[in-house]
Structure 1
């Protein structure tokens, strides 16, 4: 593959990264805090590709004879070995991931990933858990709820009505659970945090549906059969289906 072709692919790849960053598609791959680094990397790729293309075109215009000699040498090498080089054809396969970034918006990790991986073990706090924000119901993340429920025995959330958001995933007994994918860096290391649903109110949303649950602390516990980690439960008072949030990962 010629240097000009490599530069064109690099230009497309850098442009795809910039487009994904500006349109929030990048949130399907990495955490939101990575935006400035991705944008900077994409712009650097575009700038490097543009400079390479400009230099190559200028050099090609100045030395057409040298390019002609290079083509003759390539033809001679082809004749001597009885076959040509296939690098140009293979190299253009690099365009496929670029087209994927430009044309396809992949879904966020969901119930399939949650079913294959064990729940994240909620970390215990080194000090007293802070008070929940004012209001009723109080918004709380699944990871924070699981940590308070398991390591604080629900003391910091008892008596409060809570609002949790996540997608539906089937539990080991077939009943729905609330889940969200937690990222350390990117989607490749994503793991689910799962919270069981209990109470008289039945959640009948389909897997991968995003829902908002209003409920209260439940002392019920479970075990994730994948990694034997403790699973907290919330007693559901009401729920509603919602659109997938802009940032689907925790």
Structure 2
């Protein structure tokens, strides 16, 4: 792979990063607040690629050449002694593998983490601690995230929820007992560190839906708890009063 091919791959990679950043595609990989950094990184890659191509494709006469220092004891092209032999270095062909992540970003964008990731990782809300949650905002039902409900249900045993009705949005996954659970992935930085928040469901449990179906549920706090077989963490439950299937949201991570 010569430098021109390297620059083209760099240009494609930078373009793919910019394309993902100006659409919602980047939300499958990183948190929303990292968008400016992705755009800046993509622009930097594109500028570096263009400068490399400009240097490689400009007329050879315009390039500054530095005469090689003769090495004593080596024959020159005219048969004399003192000139160094010229030879060409070839970069390893393995460099072409760099085009694979480019094709992945442009052609085969993977979906956001879903039910399979939930079944492989333990619930991230797992360590009880002292908590002093503020009251829920006004509204009936009040919109809360899956993470917020799980934290309130575990850390202060639902004291800050009381008998209020809550509305949560998440996707369906299969629980350890074969029953559906409500889940949402939480990111610290990017999809590589994604961890699931899991809620068991009682009452009007969504039925007949495949894994990764997104639903909006309305219900109340219940003190029922389960255990996550992956890391033995406590899983809080929600007593569902009603539910409906909803489209996949733009922001799939909490």
User: Under a length normalisation based on structure 1, what TM-score does the superposition of the two structures give?
Assistant: 0.87
Where does residue 97 of structure 1 map in the other structure?
101
Unaligned runs of 5+ in 1: 67-71, 78-84
User: Which aligned pairs between 1:183-194 and structure 2 lie closer than 5 A?
Assistant: 183-194=187-198
Where does residue 176 of structure 1 map in the other structure?
180
Alpha-carbon spacing, 1:28–1:202, altered in 2? closer, same or farther (3 Å): closer
CA distance, structure 1, for counterparts of residue 238 and residue 117 of structure 2: 22
Out of 204, 211, 224, the position equivalent to 1:207 is: 211
CA distance, structure 2, for counterparts of residue 45 and residue 203 of structure 1: 48
Q: What CA deviation, in whole Å up to 9, does each residue of 1:98-136 have, x standing for no partner?
A: 011112231111001100111112566755211212111
Where does residue 30 of structure 1 map in the other structure?
30
Where does residue 159 of structure 1 map in the other structure?
163
Is the 1:122–1:143 Cα contact (8 Å) retained in structure 2? no
Alpha-carbon spacing, 1:107–1:57, altered in 2? closer, same or farther (3 Å): same
Where does residue 138 of structure 2 map in the other structure?
134
Is the 1:203–1:239 Cα contact (8 Å) retained in structure 2? no
Is the 2:145–2:169 Cα contact (8 Å) retained in structure 1? yes
CA distance, structure 2, for counterparts of residue 134 and residue 194 of structure 1: 25
Alpha-carbon spacing, 1:149–1:32, altered in 2? closer, same or farther (3 Å): same
Where does residue 49 of structure 2 map in the other structure?
49
Alpha-carbon spacing, 1:60–1:27, altered in 2? closer, same or farther (3 Å): farther
CA distance, structure 1, for counterparts of residue 246 and residue 59 of structure 2: 57
CA distance, structure 2, for counterparts of residue 145 and residue 164 of structure 1: 8
Unaligned runs of 5+ in 2: 67-85
Question: What do you get for the CA RMSD once the two structures are aligned?
Answer: 2.1
Q: What CA deviation, in whole Å up to 9, does each residue of 1:145-173 have, x standing for no partner?
A: 11111121111112111001111010000
How far off its partner does 1:196 sit? 0.4
Q: Secondary structure at the match of 1:6?
A: helix
CA distance, structure 2, for counterparts of residue 242 and residue 99 of structure 1: 31
| Bigger share in helix | 1
CA distance, structure 2, for counterparts of residue 125 and residue 226 of structure 1: 21
Q: Secondary structure at the match of 2:95?
A: helix
Aligned length: 234
Where does residue 82 of structure 1 map in the other structure?
none
CA distance, structure 2, for counterparts of residue 33 and residue 123 of structure 1: 27
Q: Secondary structure at the match of 2:58?
A: helix
Out of 211, 222, 239, the position equivalent to 2:243 is: 239
Alpha-carbon spacing, 1:234–1:127, altered in 2? closer, same or farther (3 Å): closer
Is the 2:122–2:195 Cα contact (8 Å) retained in structure 1? yes
